[in-house]
Each structure stands twice: as structure tokens, then as C-alpha cells.
């Protein structure tokens, strides 16, 4: 038991979120380099022969240089066992980011120093705030021209409604970037440039009161630093671990992932400030991994065809309590029966590693024969319970989808259903027509491109998509309702989901209110019940 608790205590499980191109993938790779998990950083962009980022494995990601799925990476560093959940950087995949954050105990927010909180990233970061987990900020690309540092902090506070506390402070930016000032230790940390793809740069730490500093940074930089620190000491929030734990205060760090400036400093501080696996809410109260000995986990992601050679389906689960051993029998709460979790794997992007034993805080992928859904609970506890569900985001874009070759109907139905089970899309049927007409709903339009690409590359099915003008979807909460008798508006469409539940689509938001007024007693909901 004591060994299990010690293993759980050294776990740190966090998600990294950012706008595309803010440098999230580069930062992730540098963490892996420090942990010895890889020995050469990849490059998402660049020549066709360049290595692709370790965390990007889907072909469309390599082609476009963006992450559209969440991958899981584990490594050891400084006595900690670290699980990084890498998330899609595009707002169109904010639903996948939310599900990933459900499996994380904290989040690292990467911001481009020249851009601040970008418009289309607000949705992603707000998803982070919704989870009320500790949020750490790494302001990246200080080796390029950056915005005013105080403006950047103000931006975060205004956009996200969260206080900031800089742990270190940049000395210059762009070509004049010399390093950072450690506020707690009153030390200047100066970095020598490192070669791309290597992990170790030389770090010189010199007390701000040491006369040596004058020979290392310019007089104007020193004066500006002293002015800014005085201003900062008077204006910024004081560090409070309690407020960090509540997700109300974000510790801020500055650096450059590309050149390693500030990366290891950030990693060390972060590991000290973030916590070991946290308790999780269930229908029998909180399950605390420090007290609950029985194994329990929940499914937060399902991914089909991660490897074309395998043609398999993997259910990713976050272990919340106890320890897991390969071949264990566990009870699948939603399925109502015991299952053997076969072929447990830990992932390094598309690389798989068989596991024998893992602990609370870890993420594993298990073979899914088609029995798991997102949000499912698995446990060995005799006192059966279910973890709180993962909400579904209402789609905002809709299209009618049909396969070009009518002979490939079977592959089309199989492919579109499997992709829907992963949570990437939601599929609906025309009312009274069955599966002949399929309507796909997505949170972001980029998901349509991914659907088209994946159906062609994984299922050999070409599709035609006709976009529909609807923007608002409502589930009907009344169990006994005759859809034919609903008096709607001219822009309303009646559809059903895969569980045969009736839904209404509207072009305009005012049509929702009008339909409710015309049908007294009709209960419309923005989210479907799982």
C-alpha cells in the first residue's frame, strides 16, 4: 500500500493548451528532451524531410502542421513521473480539449509573447477556466520581438478573469533578450543559446546585487529591470499556493521554447507548485486516490485507426485511484458487466508500449471492441459508482453528408459511426427518413475537413457534403411528444439523434423562443442527456 501511495504522489498529470503556432509542440518536446524520453526534437514545419513533432501522429496533422487530436506522453524527470496531455491548438477542437482537461489535474497555457491572448484562443482558455484547475502560464517566443510585458499580463487577466503572478521577469526581448530575473531568489538567470534539437543550454545565475551583472546586461536593461520590478512588487498579485490550487491565480513564466530559454526553470517550478493526482467527483461522493485502494478509471477519449496496420480502436482512460495490472478484470459500470482490459498500452504519440503496472494519475490506452463510450467508469470496487459525466458541446455547424459511390454504403456507415463514437462529430438523421439522409454536426468547421480526410484515408470512402444554414440545436426534454404536432417556424428542421431522440434545428436564435411560445409546455434543452 505504501509503495502505491508513493507512486501516486510522484505523478503529475497536466494538459498543455495554446493557440496554433504559439509553440506548444516545441515546449512539449523540450520537456521530453529534459526527461530523456527523446533525444532529438522534431519539427512540425519545414522541409518535407524534417522529422514531425513527436506528439502529432495523424497524417492530416503532419500535412497541415496542426494538432487535431490529443496525444498522451509520459516521462520521468527529477523524481516525478509526468503525464502530458497534448491538446489540439485550434478552437474548432475545443470540445476535445475540454474532454482532455477532464483527465488533467492542471493545465499549462502557452502564449505567444508577440500576440498575447489571441481572439480564437479565448474559447480554449475559457474551457480551461471552466474546469477550475490550476493554470500555469508560459509566455513563449521572448527571443522574438514581444509586446509590452505588463500589457501581456493585463491581457490574460482581462480576457480570462484570472489574476497573474509573474515568478520570473524577462530581460529584454527579440535580439536583446538576455534571460529572466527570478523574483524570489533575486537572481538574474542568463542563458547561452543552444543548438536546435538539443536540450541543455548553459544557465548562469548571478545575484542582482553582484557587480558581475553589469558586464552581462546593458546599463539600460538593468535600469529598466529595476523599474519594472519595483512596479511589479507594488502592483501584481502576491503568490498564493491556495489561490493557484483553486484556479484563481496563474503563475507566469517567460522564455523561449525554441532556444530553451527558461524551459527547465519553468518545469522545475511547475512540478513543485502543481499537485499529485486530485480527488474526483462521483455519484457516491469524492474518490480520493490517497484513500481509495481499489482501481477506478474513466474513459475520456476514443480513437480509431491510430495505426493503419492495426485497424484498431483505443479507449484512453485516466486512472483515478488504485493501481492497474495488465489482464485485470474490472467492472464496466455503464455496460453492467465485468471486462478484461486487454492489451493495455501507454502511448508516445503513435508509438505503443505494453504496460504491466500503472497508478492513479496515469493514462492508459486499452483495446476497445466497441463497448466503451466517452465518460464510462471502470472499477474493481465492490461499492460500485460512476464518475461524473463529460458534457457534450452543442454543434454549431451542420452539413448533409452522403457517399459518392453507392456501393460503399457499408464502409460509409461504419466509418461515420466510429468517428462519431470518438466524439469528433455528432450525427443525426432526417426525421421520418432513417439513415438514408445523414446530417453531421460539428463544433468547429475544421472538423468537416478532418471527417472528409479520415473517411477517404481510413475507410476508402469519398463523400459529398452540403452545408446547412442551421446554427442552433435543441433537444426535446418532454418524453411524450408528437413531433408532427409541434408548431415551429419556417427556418426550423426536425431531426433525430442516434438514440432516436427528437431534436430541432434553427437558423435564427429568435426562432427558438418563438417555437417555445407557440407550443406551451414544450421543454427544449441546449445539451443532450447521455
What single string gives the DSSP state of each residue in 98-164?
Answer: HHHHHT-SEEEEEEETTT-S-GGGHHHHHHHHHTT--EEEEEE-TTS----HHHHHHHHHHHH--EE
pLDDT in tens, 444-458: 787 788 888 888 888
pLDDT (0 to 100) of residue 67: 39
Domain ranges of the chain: 2-71+92-98+105-273, 280-379, 397-525
pLDDT band at 43 (very low <50, low <70, confident <90, very high): very low
Contact between residue 299 and residue 374 where contact means Cβ atoms under 8 Å apart:
yes
pLDDT in tens, 233-289: 887 788 999 999 999 999 999 999 888 888 888 999 999 999 899 899 999 999 999
pLDDT band at 188 (very low <50, low <70, confident <90, very high): confident
CA proximity to 280, closest of 242, 318, 246: 318
Residue 346 exposure: Cα atoms within 13 Å on the Cβ side: 20
Mean predicted confidence (pLDDT) in 518-526: 87
Mean predicted confidence (pLDDT) in 15-22: 79
Q: pLDDT averaged over the chain? A: 81
Mean predicted confidence (pLDDT) in 291-310: 79
State the fold for domain 280-379: Elongation Factor Tu (Ef-tu); domain 3 (2.40.30)
pLDDT (0 to 100) of residue 215: 76
φ/ψ of 443, rounded to 5, equals -80, -40
Number of other CB atoms surrounding residue 470 within 10 Å? 22
pLDDT (0 to 100) of residue 24: 77
Report the alpha-carbon distance of residue 115 to residue 363 in Å, rounded.
Answer: 33
Hey, which residues does 13 pair with through a beta bridge? 83
Mean predicted confidence (pLDDT) in 108-118: 89
Conformational region of residue 521, where left means phi above 0, alpha means psi within -120 to 50, and beta covers everything else: left
CA proximity to 15, closest of 140, 91, 127, 116: 127
* Contact partners, residue 173, CB within 8 Å, separation at least 6: 113, 142, 143, 144, 145, 146
Conformational region of residue 229, where left means phi above 0, alpha means psi within -120 to 50, and beta covers everything else: alpha
Report the alpha-carbon distance of residue 404 to residue 88 in Å, rounded.
Answer: 30
Domain spanning 397-525, CATH architecture: 2-Layer Sandwich (3.30)
pLDDT (0 to 100) of residue 301: 85
Q: Is pLDDT larger for residue 395 or for residue 287? A: 287
What's the DSSP call for residue 256?
A: B
Report the alpha-carbon distance of residue 169 to residue 127 in Å, rounded.
Answer: 27
pLDDT (0 to 100) of residue 236: 79
pLDDT (0 to 100) of residue 75: 83
pLDDT band at 70 (very low <50, low <70, confident <90, very high): very low
pLDDT (0 to 100) of residue 88: 63
pLDDT band at 120 (very low <50, low <70, confident <90, very high): low
Q: Is pLDDT larger for residue 66 or for residue 9? A: 9
What 3-state class would DSSP assign to 177? Answer: coil
What's the DSSP call for residue 447?
A: H
Least confident stretch, 121-130, 233-242, 331-340, 495-504? 121-130
Strands of 202-311, DSSP E:
203-207, 249-254, 280-282, 285-287, 296-304
Contact between residue 423 and residue 299 where contact means Cβ atoms under 8 Å apart:
no
As given in the structure block, the three cell numbers for residue 44 are 512540425
pLDDT (0 to 100) of residue 49: 36
Return the biggest CA–CA distance within the chain.
84
| CATH, domain range 2-71+92-98+105-273 | 3.40.50.300
Quick check: 220 pLDDT over 90? no
pLDDT (0 to 100) of residue 202: 64
pLDDT band at 34 (very low <50, low <70, confident <90, very high): confident
Amino acid at each position: 500500500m505504501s509503495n502505491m501511495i508513493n507512486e501516486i504522489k510522484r505523478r503529475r498529470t497536466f494538459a498543455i493548451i495554446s493557440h496554433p503556432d504559439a509553440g506548444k509542440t516545441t515546449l512539449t518536446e523540450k520537456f521530453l528532451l529534459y526527461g530523456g524520453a527523446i533525444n532529438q526534437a522534431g519539427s512540425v514545419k519545414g522541409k518535407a524531410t524534417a522529422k514531425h513533432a513527436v506528439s502529432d501522429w495523424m497524417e492530416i496533422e503532419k500535412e497541415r502542421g496542426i494538432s487535431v487530436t490529443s496525444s498522451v506522453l509520459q516521462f520521468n524527470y527529477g523524481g516525478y513521473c509526468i503525464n502530458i496531455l497534448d491538446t489540439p491548438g485550434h478552437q474548432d477542437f475545443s470540445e476535445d480539449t475540454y474532454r482532455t482537461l477532464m483527465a488533467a489535474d492542471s493545465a499549462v497555457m502557452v502564449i505567444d509573447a508577440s500576440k498575447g491572448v489571441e481572439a480564437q484562443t479565448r474559447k480554449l482558455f475559457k474551457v480551461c477556466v471552466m474546469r477550475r484547475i490550476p493554470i500555469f502560464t508560459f509566455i513563449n517566443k521572448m527571443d522574438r520581438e514581444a509586446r509590452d510585458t505588463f500589457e501581456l499580463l493585463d491581457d490574460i487577466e482581462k480576457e480570462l478573469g484570472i489574476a497573474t503572478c509573474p515568478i520570473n521577469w524577462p530581460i529584454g526581448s527579440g535580439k536583446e533578450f538576455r534571460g529572466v530575473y527570478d523574483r524570489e531568489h533575486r537572481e538574474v538567470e542568463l542563458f547561452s543559446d543552444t543548438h536546435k534539437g538539443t536540450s541543455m543550454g548553459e544557465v548562469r545565475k548571478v545575484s542582482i546585487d553582484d557587480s558581475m551583472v553589469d558586464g552581462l546586461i546593458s546599463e539600460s536593461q538593468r535600469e529598466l529591470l529595476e523599474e519594472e520590478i519595483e512596479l511589479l512588487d507594488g502592483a501584481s498579485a502576491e503568490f498564493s499556493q491556495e489561490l493557484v490550487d483553486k484556479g484563481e491565480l496563474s503563475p507566469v513564466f517567460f522564455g523561449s521554447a525554441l532556444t530553451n530559454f527558461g524551459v527547465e526553470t519553468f518545469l522545475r517550478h511547475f512540478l513543485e507548485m502543481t499537485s499529485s493526482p486530485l480527488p474526483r467527483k462521483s455519484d457516491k461522493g469524492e474518490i480520493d486516490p490517497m484513500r481509495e485502494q481499489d482501481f477506478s478509471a474513466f474513459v475520456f477519449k476514443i480513437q480509431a485507426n491510430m495505426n493503419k496496420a492495426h485497424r484498431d480502436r483505443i479507449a484512453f482512460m485516466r486512472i483515478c485511484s488504485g493501481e492497474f495490472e495488465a489482464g485485470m478484470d474490472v467492472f464496466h459500470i455503464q455496460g453492467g458487466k465485468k471486462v478484461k482490459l486487454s492489451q493495455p498500452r501507454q502511448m508516445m504519440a503513435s508509438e505503443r508500449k505494453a504496460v504491466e503496472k500503472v497508478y492513479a494519475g496515469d493514462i492508459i490506452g486499452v483495446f476497445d471492441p466497441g463497448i466503451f463510450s466517452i465518460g464510462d467508469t471502470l472499477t474493481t470496487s465492490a461499492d460500485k459508482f460512476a464518475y461524473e459525466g463529460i458534457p457534450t458541446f452543442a454543434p454549431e455547424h451542420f452539413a448533409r453528408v452522403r457517399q459518392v459511390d453507392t456501393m460503399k454504403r457499408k464502409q460509409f456507415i461504419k466509418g461515420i459511426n466510429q468517428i462519431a463514437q470518438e466524439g469528433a462529430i455528432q450525427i443525426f438523421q432526417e426525421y421520418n427518413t432513417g439513415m438514408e439522409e445523414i446530417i453531421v454536426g460539428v463544433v468547429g468547421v475544421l472538423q468537416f475537413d478532418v471527417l472528409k480526410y479520415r473517411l477517404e484515408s481510413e475507410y476508402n470512402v469519398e463523400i459529398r457534403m452540403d452545408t446547412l444554414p442551421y446554427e442552433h440545436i435543441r433537444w426535446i426534454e418532454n418524453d411524450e411528444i408528437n413531433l408532427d404536432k409541434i408548431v415551429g417556424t419556417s427556418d426550423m428542421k426536425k431531426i433525430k439523434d442516434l438514440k432516436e431522440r427528437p431534436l430541432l434545428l434553427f437558423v435564427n436564435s429568435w426562432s427558438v423562443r418563438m417555437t417555445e411560445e407557440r407550443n406551451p409546455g414544450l421543454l427544449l434543452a441546449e445539451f443532450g442527456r447521455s
